[in-house]
Chains A and B, each alone.
Chain A
Amino acid sequence: MSSGEFTFDGRSVEVQNGDRMLDALVRAGVHPTGGGTLCFGGDCANCVCTVDGVAYVRACQEPAEVGVSIASHGGGAPPLPSVDLEPASIRAMFRRVDVVVIGGGEAGQTAFADARAASRSVVLFDVHAGEEVLAVYSGPLVLVRTRSGIERVACDEVIVATGAAEIQPIVPGSDLRGLWTARGAEQAQRAGARLDALVAVGHVPESLGATALEGDLVRFVDGGSGAVAAVVTRVGGTEIETPCENVIVSLGLVPRNALARMSEPRCTTVVGDAAREGALPAVPTEGVICPCSNVTVSQLDDLYSRGFHHMELLKRSSLAGTGTCQGSVCTPYLRSLLHDRGQELQPAFTARPMGRQATLAELAAGSELPTLARTALDGVHRELGARMDRMGGWWRPWSYGDVEAECGAVRERVSIGDTSTLGKMILAGPDAEATLQGLFPTDVSTIRPGRSRYALMLNERGYVMDDGMIARESDGTFFVTFTSSGASMAEMWIRDWSASWGHDIRLLNQTTSVGTINVTGPQARVLLERLTDEPLPPFLGHVTLTVGGIDCKVFRLSFTGELSYELHHGVHESVALWNLLMEAGADLGIEPHGLDALSRLRLEKGHIIVGQDTDYDSSPRRLQHEWAVNLNKGDFIGRTATVRTNQLELDKKLVGFEADGPLREGAVAYHDERFAGTLTSTTWSPALGRWIAMGWLQSLDGAFPESVMIDGVSAAVRSTHFYDPEGSRPRA
């Protein structure tokens, strides 16, 4: 009974209750792809089409819905979706069971019942119930397209009960209209399609009403309109051409076991027809053997002659089996061909996810956007109108609107910045000092309680991985900082090495629990003395005191090049501390500074940012940070490599550049038209009134150039310490 219509390439097609899309199409005399054997089993690519903008839909598997718009792929790749396609959101679900059964036939139902009887939690997915398994990943993890979204099901065992597929004909003319497998013809007739002038090759049920032909299939003959007009069979040595309008081809069954070949064997069971031995079709002699990838017999013979004798190699070299049907059609023929050419009969090649086409929305279902950490001051920055940016896994304030004013506040008055993203760890225990001595090239034993020191962290090859400060709190307790993006890696590095050394340590990563506000500028001390009566620490010292009644660990160090104090505190008091500082510093002209200002200020001072100014092969010597390495203190990670590479001629180094014209990050420097380096950090320096940069300079003919050309601008090579090279301001 008619329930309505859908359209196919603009033409109305009547839909009856219970139809799948292909039922309605063949009843209307429409072939979705224009030609090729129709199997109705979801095994080939001969009925894929685009449904409401979604390509690669198998019309034989999908219920026919009234009102949808179906379009043919046009014989090639499907059309690109229109740009105004509504973004789709697919619900993702996850669950865990003991057993997943794939296939709702008799074998699947039996497996399901057996698992239940054994008190195992089990779920069955049946494509005819709208549950299509797209892939089986290691785990196993089964990915299923259902009518309510994408399900990810973790399990201990996968039972594949997907039945068997009919072998499709691969002979000249097998891309014509009017060709059916036995099951396909049966379903087409059940759907009400008229299959006139019907003949059959191979054994088919009499109930289909086809005229049975003798002999082996040779080719189909095109009547001129893309539809079959005759079929040629061979009986003995004689070819017989039989006129017809429809041909049923029955060549045997092969196991439909791609999902089993995709799954880990140790946790996969194959039952029913999916476990049967596959029939071997006659070896094709000419024409296309893989319709999806358009691979011909002659191409395969050429590859075979060049030594590709294995199914896996033949697949990779020809791409047969990698197309829409993922080898369902061509695999029996590839096995047959290799066997015919003298190879042992080989199994089908490995299958890999995805087994079915999926939309981007389906692929994205269940994947989450990376969590970007927010400091406790995130809301404050946003209220102040800061432009927030993603840096090192955190949301950070890039600028509050006027970066030069922010720089000016730091250089001339006082400013505060949110540096809560710093990696922060407590290291304690009997072997805490020994662990740090082994990890860092500085002599940790000479850091006294209450003092701190800048330190590089090297890998075994002597290259810089991270940097930070080491502060000694007591004989056996240290507080160590790392870069914002390097903290997690540094924690693993410490744990791995201390464990391998058998050290007795305690390590606590406080990065997310301790906030940090940097108070910096010539008036920083004046500001803090308004909020505490306790003495502030000397340069590179640290003390614990209260600032405005808030417990703080105060470190005196400087990244900006000015007098600076880092106030470390519990994150629950970050907002209160920020507000106290802003209020107390109002008459001093206090302003907050963002990351843009901080980056410019530290560049003026010549402080590196690991990851920006360093590369994968940046040794302390190339960075001109040899002052941070003590080769006399005993062994440490990277020492052997450092000693060895120190004997080599220095081939490049990190230097400063000055120019009157603009310099941009990443720009290439040339000397006498030869490559001389690249810029890693650049800025207009308000304090110096010119463009400055940090970057790598190559040695040319054994000497480092003293000037370079960058984007047509002449730049002088100089020290990275542009601002206050004596370091008097942070020590003030």
Chain B
Amino acid sequence: MLEQLPLTRIVSTPAALDALEPAAGSVILRTAPDEVLILDPASDYPAPVIVDDPHAIVVVDQGWAQVSLTRQDAEELLERHGAWVLPDETPAVAQGRIGNAPVKLWVEHDRVLLLVPLVAAHDLARLMEPDA
């Protein structure tokens, strides 16, 4: 179900992050004006990236777990344990809480990639059980 996912986490200026180009197969999640997560769900290790900012903080972050859901499953999960809904326009990044676990979502037309910090993955997995 939830699997550990390495990703690249970059904190930099908004302009430098605006200029980032994703490598083939990777996805850039803009989680804040000054932060992105870059992930490649099919790869064990994220591709290196170049940021046009000498002060940028670039780390490989192993503290996340991922699961890919159908849009319907994601909507049902949010209906039961969230107080928000998926964005209609895709692709899009959505962030919020499921139960009290902080999650980040990469929402595509019919699939949703869910990211959760490993420290909260245990609780989220419990909420994802059908009878939770």
Chain A residues proximal to chain B, CB less than 8 Å: 91-96, 141, 152, 154, 366, 368-376, 378, 394, 426, 428-430, 476, 504, 506-508, 510, 512-514, 570-573
Contact = CB atoms under 8 A, between A and B. Distances in A.
Nearest to B82: A94
A616 to B, nearest CB: 26
Interface in B74-106: 78-85, 99-101
B105 to A, nearest CB: 15
A508 B83 contact: no
22 contacts: A94-B79, A94-B80, A96-B84, A368-B99, A368-B127, A369-B123, A370-B100, A371-B101, A371-B123, A373-B119, A373-B120, A378-B122, A426-B11, A428-B11, A507-B11, A508-B59, A512-B117, A512-B118, A513-B61, A513-B117, A570-B62, A573-B62
B4 interface: yes
A703 B57 CA distance: 52
A92 B117 CA distance: 25
B66 to A, nearest CB: 13
Contacts of A512: 63, 117-120
A476 B57 CA distance: 11
Contact of B62 (A92, A96, A504, A571): A571
A506 B55 contact: yes
Given A508-B57, A571-B62, A572-B62, A374 B119 contact: yes
B24 to A, nearest CB: 25
Nearest to A572: B62
B56 interface: yes
A380 to B, nearest CB: 14
A313 B58 CA distance: 60
A94 B55 contact: no
Interface in B104-129: 117-120, 122-124, 127
Contacts of B117: 373, 512-513
Interface residues of B, number: 35
Contacts of B79: 93-95
B9 interface: yes
Contacts of A513: 9, 59, 61-64, 117
Nearest to A394: B119
A99 to B, nearest CB: 15
Interface in B23-48: 34-35
A430 B11 CA distance: 14
A354 B119 CA distance: 36
Given A96-B84, A428-B55, A510-B63, 5 more contacts: A94-B82, A369-B123, A371-B120, A394-B119, A428-B57
B103 to A, nearest CB: 11
Interface of B: 4, 6, 9, 11-12, 34-35, 55-57, 59-64, 78-85, 99-101, 117-120, 122-124, 127
B63 A368 contact: no
A141 B84 CA distance: 11
A506 B12 contact: yes
A429 B55 contact: yes
Contacts of A370: 100
A91 B59 CA distance: 41
A376 B78 CA distance: 26
B63 A371 contact: no
Closest 10 CB pairs of A and B: A513-B63, A373-B119, A572-B62, A368-B99, A371-B100, A512-B117, A570-B62, A371-B123, A429-B55, A506-B11
Contacts of B122: 374, 378
B4 A368 contact: no
B127 to A, nearest CB: 8
Which of B11, B80, B101 has the most A CB atoms < 10 Å from its CB?
B11
Contacts of A91: 80
A583 B95 CA distance: 41
Contacts of A572: 4, 6, 62-63
B10 to A, nearest CB: 9
A571 B59 CA distance: 13
Given A430-B55, A513-B61, A94 B78 contact: yes
A94 B63 contact: no
Nearest to B131: A89
Contacts of B84: 94, 96
Which of B80, B118, B120 has the most A CB atoms < 10 Å from its CB?
B118
B118 A376 contact: yes
Contacts of A573: 62
B131 to A, nearest CB: 10
A513 B37 CA distance: 13
Contacts of B60: 570
A672 to B, nearest CB: 50
Contact of B85 (A95, A366, A371, A376): A95
A507 B118 CA distance: 21
Given A94-B82, A94-B83, A512-B117, A506 B123 contact: no
Contact of A92 (B55, B56, B80): B80
Given A368-B100, A369-B100, A371-B120, A508 B9 contact: yes
Nearest to A569: B62
A570 B12 CA distance: 21
A60 B115 CA distance: 48
A514 B61 CA distance: 8
B55 A571 contact: no
Contacts of A430: 55
A374 B84 CA distance: 25
A504 B64 CA distance: 28
A460 B60 CA distance: 36
A571 B63 contact: yes
Nearest to A429: B55
Which of A368, A394, A428, A573 has the most B CB atoms < 10 Å from its CB?
A368
A512 B82 CA distance: 22
